[in-house]
Every structure is written in structure tokens, then in C-alpha cells.
């Protein structure tokens, strides 16, 4: 039982473009801390067909002691759908994990979103923007660009200690929008105990 491993999948894009290639990262860690360099990982669809495989790298992920990893390129579904995959590590034992992707048509339009704080007009960095299956995060200038498909959406913003109502938006070409968020002070977690 000293060969128990755990498997992680990250950097899964959402959505992926139907019929194109996308990349993920897969990491495997041994409970005993043993080196897993050169171990094989495979990604299969739900029918069991292997779509991608690769060998783990020689060095652990930066900041970890024994998480050996690899970046994998794999084909997206050919049509719009939610697709599920199984990731398998074949070492001394067998570890598996699952993940899913939403395949969307190729985005043909660009939407630029600029977000500022309502009371100060200061640019807000790190605002998570969601537009249907598409998402992005604002940079230091409070701006983000999303590649999106034609359609009607609810544009949603999220950031700690800020709120904004969803905004209906119709995409029928390249567009830009400027939005504001209201700062809502967070309660001090110990406030009810302080007298």
C-alpha cells in the first residue's frame, strides 16, 4: 500500500472550441513521496478510447515536493456538447480522475469589458467575468477581452467585497462595454465577538 498515488487535472479551458485542440495539465503524486518521473498518464473518452497520453516530466511542479506533471494536448469534441474524460496513471497502482469540458462553436466576435469601482471610478483588477460558457479575468487596467459567439447572454461579474447585477447583452459583432461594481465592505469575521 506504500505505492498509493493521487492524480490532479488543472488548467482545463472552458469552453473548448469544437473540432480544435486544447491543453490540460495532469499531475501525479505518490503518498510515499517516491519519484514518478517517466510514468505514463492517459486521457480516455467515456467509451474508453485513449485520446492522449504522455510521460510525466523529470521534475516536480514548482513549489511541491513530489507532484510530477505533464501538459497534454488533446482533441476537442467535433460538435457542441459537454464531454467527460477519464485520466489514468499507470504506475505500481492505478489512479484515475475525471474532468469535463463544454465544446462550443468557434468564437467569431470579441467583447472588451472594462470594470471600475462605482464610487471611485478606480479600475478593478481580478474581476471574474462570465458570459455563458465564456469567461475571463480583468487585468491591472480593469479590462478583459473575451472571444465569444453570436447570441444573447447574461454578463456576470464577480469579485470579493463587490457586487454588480447581471447585465443582459446581445452579441452580433465585436463590442465593448464599461461596467461598474459597488464596493461592499466585508464584515470582520470576529465582529460579533468584539464588544
Burial per residue of 133-151, b for 16 or more beta-carbon CB atoms within 10 angstroms, e otherwise: bbbbebeeebbbebebbee
| pLDDT at residue 91 in the model | 63
Counted domains in the chain: 2
Using only the alpha carbons of the chain, give its radius of gyration: 21
This prediction has a pTM of 0.67
| pLDDT at residue 160 in the model | 92
Domain harbouring 159, CATH code:
2.60.40.1120
Domain range enclosing 152: 109-183
| pLDDT at residue 106 in the model | 87
| pLDDT at residue 1 in the model | 42
| pLDDT at residue 187 in the model | 67
| pLDDT at residue 34 in the model | 84
Own/partner contacts of 140-144, CB < 8 Å, gap of 24 or more, are 141/114, 142/114, 142/115, 142/116, 143/112, 143/113, 143/114, 143/115, 144/112, 144/113, 144/115
Strand order in the sheet with 175-183: 143-148, 109-117, 175-183, 162-163
Q: Which of 104, 120, 136 is the endpoint of a domain?
A: 104
Measured CA angle at 79 (ends 97, 21), to 5 deg: 60
Q: Is residue 39 part of a domain?
A: yes
Q: Which of 104, 126, 158 is the endpoint of a domain?
A: 104
| pLDDT at residue 93 in the model | 55
pLDDT mean by block of 10 residues, the chain; 195 residues: 79 90 94 88 94 94 91 94 93 78 90 96 96 91 93 95 95 96 76 48
Whether residue 74 is found in the same domain as residue 159:
no
Using CA atoms, how far apart are residues 53 and 16, in angstroms rounded to an integer? Answer: 19
Query: Residue 145: which of 182, 104, 181, 107 has the closest Cα?
Result: 107
Q: Which of 84, 104, 124 is the endpoint of a domain?
A: 104
Amino acid at each position: 500500500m506504500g505505492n498509493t498515488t493521487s492524480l490532479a487535472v488543472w488548467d482545463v479551458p472552458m469552453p473548448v472550441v469544437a473540432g480544435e485542440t486544447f491543453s490540460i495539465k495532469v499531475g501525479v503524486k505518490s503518498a510515499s513521496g517516491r519519484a514518478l518521473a517517466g510514468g505514463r498518464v492517459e486521457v480516455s473518452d467515456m467509451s474508453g478510447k485513449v485520446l492522449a497520453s504522455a510521460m510525466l516530466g523529470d521534475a516536480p511542479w514548482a513549489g511541491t515536493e513530489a507532484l510530477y506533471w505533464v501538459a497534454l494536448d488533446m482533441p476537442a469534441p467535433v460538435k457542441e456538447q459537454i464531454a467527460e474524460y477519464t485520466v489514468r496513471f499507470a504506475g505500481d497502482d492505478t489512479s484515475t480522475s475525471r474532468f469535463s469540458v463544454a465544446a462550443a462553436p468557434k468564437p467569431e466576435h470579441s467583447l472588451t469589458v472594462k470594470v471600475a469601482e462605482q464610487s471611485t471610478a478606480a479600475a478593478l483588477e481580478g474581476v471574474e467575468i462570465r458570459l455563458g460558457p465564456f469567461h475571463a479575468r480583468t487585468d491591472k487596467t480593469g479590462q478583459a477581452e473575451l472571444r465569444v459567439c453570436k447570441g444573447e447572454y447574461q454578463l456576470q461579474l464577480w469579485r470579493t467585497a463587490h457586487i454588480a447585477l447581471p447585465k443582459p447583452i446581445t452579441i452580433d459583432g465585436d463590442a465593448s462595454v464599461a461596467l461598474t461594481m459597488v464596493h461592499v465592505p466585508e464584515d470582520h469575521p470576529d465582529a460579533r465577538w468584539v464588544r
